[in-house]
A and B are shown apart, each in its own frame.
With several copies, the nearest count.
Chain A
Amino acid sequence: MSTTSSAPAQTQKSMADYASEFGLKPDEYQVILDRLGREPNYVELGVFSVMWSEHCSYKSSRMHLRKFPVTGERVICGPGENAGVIDIGDGQACIFKMESHNHPSYIEPYQGAATGVGGIMRDVFTMGARPVALLNALRFGEPSHPKTKRIVEGVVAGIGGYGNCVGVPTVAGETNFHAGYNGNCLVNAMCVGLADADKIFYSAAPEPGLPVVYFGSKTGRDGIHGATMSSAEFSEDSEEKRPTVQVGDPFAEKLLIEATLELMASGAVAAIQDMGAAGLTSSSVEMAGKGGLGITLDLDKVPQREANMSAYEMMLSESQERMLAILKPGRENDGYRIFEKWGLDAAVIGETNTSGHIVLKHKGEVVCDLPLGPLSDDAPLYDRPWVEPDMEAPLASVPSAPVGDALLTILASPDMASKRWLWEQYDRHVMADTLADSATGSDAGMVRVHGTKKALAVTSDCTPRYVKANPYEGGKQAVAEAWRNLTAVGADPIAITDNLNFGNPERPKIMGQIVRAIDGMAEACRELNFPVVSGNVSLYNETNGVAIPPTPTVGAVGLLADYDQRVGFHTLKAGQVLVLIGETAGELGSSLYLREVHGIEAGAPPKVDLSVEKRNGDFVRDLIRSKTAKAVHDLSDGGLLPAAFDMASASGVGIELKNSTALEDHVFAFAEDQARYLIAVDEASAHLVLAKAAEAGVPALTIGVAGGSDLSLTGVMSLSLDELKTANERWLPEFMG
């Protein structure tokens, strides 16, 4: 084997120079030298650098991720595979995961977001599931920043362009704007799929001597070093370093889904893995490594889009819409028949063996021969130094404001404004099983489990301003809000996936944010019996030393046994009584009210008491099941009055509220205390609900009645729904216009 396989000929750099260029730290490179007992060649170094990148190895976060509860009655497969798998009864399973495509979306918004959606779908159908729902959690820079509009435009078009074409409904998501994302937008996409519980496919190669089949699109020079790129900070010159942009082909993805599911149904598949970040490298290394085997690939057989691709380029390419499967003995022809039917390129490119090595051949030469152990098991694991992150102290006092004006301001603010402009570009109804989507007036998206009375409820949540103010409480809150959103539609919350977006973990304060947010999330998951079954970490979201607000996005899935028991907040009727469930102490620290009305971003965020959260939520879910609660909305951003507006506006009927508490009106209207719900009940059942609540120890207060066409707070303010709706609907289309 030549020791300089495929290194660019003209340069005189040493392997150590290349190591640092590829993002390996000197001590990491030393480990490679020690393990190999020799210098790696260029291809081998490339393989190490991507496998040991933050993106593939989770080297900064891995030891903290272990704190998450990952098991539970309904968990079939937790983190570690391409996606998490939960049992939804009747022999069926739900498979889901969330993933980021932050850096690519900043560089090329349309393709970055599109390929993000494509990538997360592959993680799900790789395990045997048909994708049935998509979600996206988006964080953009402040509206006045010169890049924001273009990024929003491209990201939204890219998400729609890909998901719509593949034919999976995009049913929910969230969108924030903040100066903290000016230099790094966040694009987190989640995919949810359905499979038979006894037909789930895994990536570990089961035995030696099996054919390794490549299928999908051809390999080009796209995104080489994408995985290491996404593990680096941006700086002025990152424009120069950017890899060839990956372009998504949703049409190819659609064919790939059908071909993959057909191949699986044919019984030919022994193991399978999509080619995601670090493409052929990570897929082959992981499949062989997990199986405790070895693998040999003949790179000349790889379907190639461009002439003269080097081994290095093929191994590091992140060309999209590609899969790697290990077939059962002698089943190659089943594969070829299916790939031909769907018009996909395919080739047997290698074989599993017992060598414990990955061996790559190219043009008659062995260009890489590495033991698999060090690549995955000995990947660096860091206990990075961390300090308590900056935290906001409780506020001494909160300024007041005229409630009606404040409401108009909040409803028209970028974070609260209707996102119609955006989700009307997403196909939300394809597959004809959508029960609730972004347009519905529902705290979670809902899709039927095809052909049954069951439904999945899905949501994505994080409140970055809380996490910034207190990573631990904010981490708890993100999980609690997701749990609450599922509860509010009548679903049993089952499990979550997450996407941990942070700055540079080598800075102790950032590492502190990561550690404390994970602590908070883990505690909430434990207390709410809401395990983590999959997830993704995106670090180094910084530009010129400025990190994003810590943003641990939670994607959650719940189950309804009978979708006729679902509820939304669009079903309020005149005459119904509004009951506020949960206690309002008057939490206004880091609230939307303070930020939007007074320009203050300060104060301790609302406390999350998980036992209260659980008690209140279980109580509300029972009211939904017994059909007592006719409409339900959780209280989150902006507090009571914006939630009442949502309910009134989605239902087309006014609400008259009354503040009978000792709280000042602006506090009553806008406090963001947790574990609260606004529910509508028939007048006749109102006192029964209050009695039941008292019995269960759940704070409940009758606060108003539905009717008319205004939203009012008696004696304080009254505004027509039309005026409020206009304020809420106007901002985004005007901004994008």
Chain B
Amino acid sequence: MKATVHIFLKAGVLDVQGKAVEGALNGLAGTAGWSDVANVRVGKVLEFDLKSTDKAAAEAEVKSMCEKLLANTVIESYRIEVA
């Protein structure tokens, strides 16, 4: 199966990268002809293949990977998709 994991900073943790991208996009907006954007958040996405063919089992496995390694739950939250 294929797993996709999205990891973002938790609400309440300042996303400095998001702020910087927002500033850059809005700074260029005039010349590039874009309208302003808001609430930019920058996160990580991981994709990988899993041996498991059982969706529930795969989800449990990926959740354990997130808790143990892929995310730092002090500052990050994650979202799992398995297909």
Contact = CB atoms under 8 A, between A and B. Distances in A.
Interface of A: 107-108, 110-111, 217, 220-222, 242, 244-245, 247-249, 251-252, 305-306, 319-320, 343
A319 B72 contact: no
A30 to B, nearest CB: 35
A110 B76 CA distance: 13
A178 B62 CA distance: 35
B75 A108 contact: yes
A242 B14 CA distance: 16
B21 to A, nearest CB: 12
Interface of B: 9, 12-14, 16, 19-20, 23, 72, 74-75
B16 A251 contact: yes
Contacts of B9: 247
Contacts of B16: 247-249, 251-252
Given A244-B12, A245-B13, 5 more contacts: A222-B13, A245-B75, A247-B16, A251-B16, A305-B14
B39 to A, nearest CB: 12
Contacts of A111: 75
A222 B20 contact: no
Contacts of A242: 74
Contact of A220 (B12, B23, B72, B75): B12
Contacts of B13: 222, 244-245, 247
Contact of B14 (A107, A108, A110, A319): A319
A700 to B, nearest CB: 53
A226 to B, nearest CB: 14
A221 B12 contact: yes
A673 to B, nearest CB: 45
15 contacts: A107-B74, A110-B72, A111-B75, A220-B12, A220-B14, A221-B12, A245-B75, A247-B9, A247-B14, A247-B16, A249-B16, A251-B16, A251-B20, A306-B12, A343-B23
Nearest to A111: B75
Contacts of A249: 14, 16, 19
Kindly name the residue among B9, B16, B19 whose own CB sees the greatest number of chain A CB atoms within 10 A: B16
B12 A108 contact: no
Contacts of B12: 220-222, 244, 306
A242 B73 CA distance: 13
Nearest to A252: B16
Contacts of A319: 14
Kindly name the residue among A110, A245, A305, A319 whose own CB sees the greatest number of chain B CB atoms within 10 A: A245
Nearest to B11: A306
A320 B74 CA distance: 18
Nearest to A306: B12
A516 to B, nearest CB: 37
B74 to A, nearest CB: 5
Q: Which 7 pairs across A and B sit closest by C-beta, in order of nearness?
A: A249-B16, A247-B14, A108-B74, A245-B75, A221-B12, A244-B12, A247-B13
A245 B20 contact: no
A252 B23 CA distance: 13
Given A108-B75, A245-B74, A222 B23 contact: no
A111 B75 CA distance: 10
A306 B13 CA distance: 10
Contacts of A221: 12
A108 B72 contact: yes
Nearest to A110: B72
A264 B74 CA distance: 38
Contacts of B75: 108, 111, 245, 247
Contacts of A107: 74
Contacts of A252: 16
A106 B11 CA distance: 22
B34 to A, nearest CB: 18
A252 B20 CA distance: 10
A735 to B, nearest CB: 15
Nearest to A319: B14
B12 to A, nearest CB: 5
Kindly name the residue among A107, A111, A320 whose own CB sees the greatest number of chain B CB atoms within 10 A: A111
Contacts of A217: 14
Nearest to B74: A108
A147 to B, nearest CB: 13
A149 to B, nearest CB: 12
Nearest to A112: B74
Contacts of B23: 343
A249 B14 CA distance: 9
Contacts of B72: 108, 110
A152 to B, nearest CB: 15
A107 B19 CA distance: 24
A595 to B, nearest CB: 31
A464 to B, nearest CB: 27
A259 to B, nearest CB: 15
A220 B75 CA distance: 14
Contacts of A343: 23
Kindly name the residue among A107, A247, A248 whose own CB sees the greatest number of chain B CB atoms within 10 A: A247
A252 B14 CA distance: 12
Contacts of B14: 217, 220, 222, 247, 249, 305, 319-320
B44 to A, nearest CB: 14
B14 to A, nearest CB: 4
A221 B12 CA distance: 7
Contacts of A320: 14
B32 to A, nearest CB: 13
A245 B23 CA distance: 24
A245 B73 CA distance: 11
A244 B74 CA distance: 9
